[in-house]
Amino acid sequence: MRLTQLYGKTLRETPSDVQLVSHQLMIRAAVMRSTAAGTFAYLPLGARALHRARQLVCSAMDGQEFIGQDGILSNEINSYRDLPKVLYQNDQTRINLYSLAADSAHQPFESSLARILKECDLNLTTIDDGDNAKAFALPHAKGSYNFVRCDSCGYAATKDAAKFVIEDCGCEEEILKLEKVGTPNCNTIASLAEFLDIGKCQTLKAVMYVYQKSEGSGRPFGFVFVVVRGDLEVSERKILNVLGGGTLRPATENEIKAVGAVPGYASPRELNVISNLQSPREASNNQVIVLADSSIHTGRNFAAGANEHGYHFINVNYPRDFKATLVADIASPIDGLRCGVCHNSYLRVVNGIKVAGYAPRRTAKAASTYLDAQGKPQEIIVSSCEIDLESLLVSIIETHHDDRGIIFPESVAPYDVHLIRLGKTEEARTAAEALYEKLPNVLYDDRDESAGVKFADADLIGLPIRITVSDKSLKAGGAEVKRRNSEAKEIVPLEKILPKVLEPSGG
């Protein structure tokens, strides 16, 4: 491709309104543009990079493409002879992969993904997402994907799946008499702890939800009053697991009042608590499900709301002072909890850019069976893997760039070679044109621009190999070859350029 024909121009100035360096560089390098809706559009250079990434993923996964709903996937599997299979579905910027296998031990995705990341020279953190599911993300301060990681053993997990230890807080205390105290303007845990001069772990936090069971029988909705130690947070996913699916949304002020609680000073005391989840829902609508996190056992004499504006109870102890429908593990880790794997150090909350997710699962559909060698029906084990090519590209560029621009690894570079012609002499022009005809996969800067402009654009776009043809290089015996990831320059005779380019990098 000739640069004079390429759609899209490089920008000298950094666009505002994008915070990631990779986005800034991609916009400047004419790889993509931002659109009004806050999304991105890919120019030809970007489309080629995504295309290369897609090819890399598909070939590494060694799968077969299909188009349509994933529901048809198991239809063609009748016999153990048909297994295993890897299929994939292409989105514009995503690839959804499915593995159909007879054996749950057959897990092709992780090793293939490792190969892909190696090709891209990309290091991602493997994150435990529960039930053998995994996520793969680049730790990045500006990423929006949160997980926790142990400083010491490197264990990483999503907040909902993390193994952590809640350390005791004041458990040695003697149990004291319940007491109501005035606590003006203490409608947050932080303000309450400060006012009473106690730690947040010595308070109980209340979080209220309205629960909607998904379609079907059973309780249509309910009010869920969650109690957790004040320094912890609540995992909505864990609550839903306890309740058996459905959806949660935060309760409104009116809904809180309707069950007899006081917003800002709510307490599980004196509420109409449902005794167990299986009990049929009774006529009165002020019943609440009280879910207490097991962290209520990791302390004593807590401070908690009094259901009266401006007042809290102190010395609240379970089960003496309030009832719970169920005590379960529903807390979400916060920064600084002890790691539940190595117990040596603490979990830190880390931001990242999620690139891929992997989820083994068993199909629920009765029809998803095959006949084994004995002719007996067996369930097909389906696992899925999703790779986001945009995030992959972003992570690669976040990892591989310098102050001059992108440094594309060969695996996803839109072109392999950036050919530059300097000067207007017939010799240089002829030699450059000849090279352009000979080289595969080359971007040719045939513009009448000054050397500085051309070099700066080549650095910005960041193709792996730069080849410069000029009067100077010809006089020296050929063309100058330089790799983007190195400062070394080498004059190579014109007839030896092609083998030189085909050499593996680093050579």
Write out the residues near RNA by the rule CB under 7 A: 9-17, 19, 28, 36-38, 186-190, 192, 205-208, 228, 230, 233-236, 250-251, 256, 262-267, 304-305, 312, 332, 404, 422-424, 448-453, 455-457, 459-460, 468, 470-473, 480, 482, 489
Q: Which CB sits closer to RNA, 10 or 384?
A: 10
Q: Kindly tell me which of 83 and 420 has the beta carbon lying closer to RNA.
A: 420
Name the residue nearer to RNA (CB basis): 24 or 99.
24
User: In the complex with RNA, which residue's Cβ is closer, 54 or 400?
Assistant: 400
Between 102 and 148, CB nearer to RNA:
148
List the 489-492 sheet strands across, edge first: 442-445, 417-421, 465-469, 479-483, 489-492
**CB 261 to RNA: min, Å:** 7
Whether the CB-CB separation of 193 and 186 falls below 8 Å is answered with no
Structure-token pair, residue 375: 């002719």
Is-contact 135 357, C-beta < 8 A?
yes
> Measured from the CB of residue 407, what is the shortest distance to RNA in angstroms?
13
Give which of 39, 21, 41 is closest to 31, Cα–Cα.
41
Single-letter amino acid, residue 207: V
> In terms of CB distance, is 136 or 455 closer to RNA?
455
CB-wise, 332 or 391, nearer to RNA? 332
Question: Distance between CA 290 and CA 271 in Å, rounded?
Answer: 9
As a whole number of Å, the CA-based R_g of the chain is 30
Which helix (H) or strand (E) element contains residue 64?
strand 64-65
CA-based nearest residue to 435, from 418, 447, 412: 418
Q: Tokens for 129? A: 């997402």
- Measured from the CB of residue 379, what is the shortest distance to RNA in angstroms? 35
The strand pairing partners of 492, in sequence order, are 479
Question: In the bound complex, what is the minimum distance in angstroms from residue 106's beta carbon to RNA?
Answer: 36
Q: What is the DSSP letter of 169?
A: B
CA distances (Å), origin 154, targets 2, 5, 102, 125, 339: 47, 49, 33, 9, 10
Closest to RNA by CB, 235 vs 383, is 235
Structure tokens at 302: 């807590």
Q: How far is the CB of 344 from RNA (least distance, A)?
A: 26
Taking each helix axis from N to C end, the angle separating 389-399 and 21-28, rounded to the nearest 10 degrees, works out to: 100
> What's the min distance (Å) between Cβ of 91 and RNA?
21
- What is the phi/psi pair of residue 466, to 5°? -115, 130
CB of 233 to RNA, least distance (A): 4
Query: Closest separation between CB of residue 74 and RNA, Å?
Result: 36
